Structures are given as C-alpha cells and as structure tokens.
C-alpha cells in the first residue's frame, strides 16, 4: 500500500515528511481548531456545514485561516483524490502556527493548515447490531461560560480524561455530565434517547457540540414524522428511556442498550433507532460534494 499523502500548508507531501514545528502553538498549547469530515462513495458529506463551523471557530479565537472557503473545499477533495479514496475520514486542522514559548498568539504569524484523509472504523459492525454499553463518568464537561463547546478546538484533554475512564472500565464509550448534573454527550458523540415515540437530545446550551450528524439526524427524524425535542436529560431519563443512540461523524448512528448496569428499553436495538440509522446511511451515501468532479469548488 502506498504511503498516505497529506495536505501540508499548500503542498501534498508523504505522511512521513509532514512535520509540525515543536514551536507550533497547536502542539504546545492546543491552540487551534479542527473538523472531522466523512466521504462516502466519492462524495464529501456536509462539506459546507463543516467549513461553516471551522470558520466560526476560527473567528471566535481570532485565528486567520490563510485560505478561502473555496480553496479549502478543493484542498479537502484533492487530498481524498490524491490518496485514491472513495470512503474516507478526513481531518482538517488549522493550528496557530509556530511562535515562541509564551502564550501570546500574536507571536504566531503563519497558521499551519493540515488535511489528512484516511480510513476509519470507530466501532466494529457488531456493536451497531447489538448496541453499546455505557457508563457515566466523573469527568465533567466545562461550563459554557468557561469554554464554549461550539469552538471545536485542538485541546481535547477533557474528552481524553473521560476516554481514560472508559478504558479503565473496559467500555467503548461513556457519558459525560455538565456542572449541573445533566447528561450532555459522550467523549466524541452526541446523545439521543427515545421516550414514547419521540427523540430527545440535550440542548446546545447544556454544553454540547452541535454535531453535524446530530443536525442531520434531527432533520431526518422530522422528515419521517418523528417528534424531536431538545431538552435537558438526567441519568434517570437515560436509564428509563425506551431507546438510546449516539451520533457523530466517525460513529455515525450507533445504538446504546445499557448504562451503569441498567438495561435501556428491551436491551436490544429499538425500532426508532434502527429506522434513524437506516435513513442516515441512505442519506449520507447519496449526497455530498463529488470528490472526482473537476469543479468541486463550486459544487
């Protein structure tokens, strides 16, 4: 298999030659932003929405991205093409760039832009058939007035601490609560529960990232006539739900059937979860910006 090619500050380079400076503030302080994007069957899924979020994150932290939206869209597609992929996970990273050992971002004059396109399988297919086991962990999501979750930053230590707890418990995913004790999300996934035929998911003000997959699922559910509400969720609500599933770019839509030893619903993948998963897979694989179209920048 040939070596992956990485988009690195305007050039396609072999992965082994893509080197970030030790003085890059993305490395030193997590000062930067990123997007995780998927390509299905030769199309980049929700590219415009991901770029919207990237540029919003950049504006919030006063980070100037040295490319236009159109240039980044073409660079994303070109990276997928360069690696001969039709199905891919794409990581688009913009760091503050090299500076000095101080915190001052104004000392970083040239942001680093990196795009990686590779394959990913976050969970084995069997878990989509039988569902995840979850547990609530002690790690809390920061309050929105401490760190706004809408900024998709490179500093993922909060998520990593929760993932460490998941690993110690031998679980693939866990549930984080906010400072008020409400369920917010997983280490990298949004959470939905089903109660009396309706989908319920935590609101953005609870301290969640408004995931692209989350937004798609809400829209698809409403198109199918399924009521969808954004409400605060307690652990009791999760334990006693009829169904539960998680959503994310890498995870897509994955069922959860147990939390903290409590069986959720019947302990099997529920009918609404199955319906949403099928609808998402059909939709994601039939829409998006074509990778192998020469006019992708205006697609």
Q: Are residues 152 and 73 in the same domain?
A: no
Neighbour-count burial for 38-64, b at 16+ CB within 10 Å, e otherwise: bbbebbbbbbeebbebbbebbeeeebe
Q: 112 φ, ψ to 5°?
A: -100, 130
Q: Sign (positive/negative) of CA torsion 120, 247, 290, 70?
A: negative
Q: Are residues 21 and 65 in the same domain?
A: yes
Is there a domain that residue 242 lies in? yes
* Distance from the Cα of residue 59 to its chain's centroid: 19
What is the token pair recorded at 16? 């082994």
Last residue of one domain, picked from the residues 120, 147, 175:
120
Q: Are residues 138 and 256 in the same domain?
A: yes
When pLDDT is cut at 50, 70 and 90, the band that residue 1 belongs to is low
A 10 A CB-CB count for 183 gives 25
Range of the domain at 60: 5-120
Q: Are residues 274 and 140 in the same domain?
A: yes
Q: Are residues 265 and 144 in the same domain?
A: yes
pTM, entire model: 0.94
Which residues are known catalytic residues? 152
Q: Which CATH number goes with the domain that contains 171?
A: 3.20.10.10
Last residue of one domain, picked from the residues 120, 144, 174:
120
Q: 134 φ, ψ to 5°?
A: -115, 170
Q: What is the pLDDT of residues 73-129, one digit of tens each?
A: 999 999 999 999 999 999 999 999 999 999 999 999 999 999 999 998 889 999 999
Q: What is the pLDDT of residues 152-172, one digit of tens each?
A: 999 999 999 999 999 999 999
Is there a domain that residue 299 lies in? no
Mean pLDDT of the chain: 95
Domain count, the chain: 2
Is there a domain that residue 292 lies in? no
Q: For residue 176, what are the β-bridge partners?
A: 185
Q: What is the pLDDT of residues 44-61, one digit of tens each?
A: 999 999 999 999 999 999
């Amino acid at each position: 298999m040939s070596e992956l090619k990485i988009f690195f500050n305007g050039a396609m380079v072999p992965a082994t030659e893509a080197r970030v400076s030790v003085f890059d503030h993305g490395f030193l302080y997590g000062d930067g932003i990123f997007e995780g994007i998927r390509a299905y069957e030769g199309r980049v899924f929700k590219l415009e929405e991901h770029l919207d979020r990237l540029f919003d994150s950049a504006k919030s932290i006063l980070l100037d991205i040295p490319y236009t939206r159109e240039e980044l869209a073409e660079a994303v597609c070109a990276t997928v093409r360069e690696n001969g992929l039709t199905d891919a996970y794409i990581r688009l990273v913009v760091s503050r760039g090299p500076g000095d050992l101080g915190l001052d971002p104004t000392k970083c004059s040239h942001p680093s832009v990196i795009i990686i396109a590779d394959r990913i399988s976050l969970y084995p297919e069997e878990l989509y058939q039988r569902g995840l086991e979850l547990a609530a962990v002690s790690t809390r999501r920061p309050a929105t007035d401490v760190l706004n979750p809408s900024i998709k930053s490179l500093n993922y230590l909060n998520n990593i601490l929760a993932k460490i707890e998941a690993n110690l418990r031998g679980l693939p995913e866990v549930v984080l609560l906010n400072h008020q004790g409400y369920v917010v999300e997983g280490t990298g996934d949004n959470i939905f529960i089903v109660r009396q035929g309706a989908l319920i998911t935590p609101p953005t003000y609870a301290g969640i990232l408004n995931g692209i997959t989350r937004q798609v699922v809400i829209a698809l559910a409403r198109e199918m006539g399924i009521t969808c509400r954004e409400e605060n969720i307690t652990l009791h609500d999760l334990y006693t739900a009829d169904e539960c599933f998680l959503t994310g770019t890498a995870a897509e839509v994955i069922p959860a059937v147990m939390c903290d030893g409590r069986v959720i619903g019947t302990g099997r993948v529920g009918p609404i979860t199955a319906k949403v998963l099928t609808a998402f897979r059909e939709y994601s694989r039939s829409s998006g910006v074509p990778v192998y179209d020469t006019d992708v920048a205006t697609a």
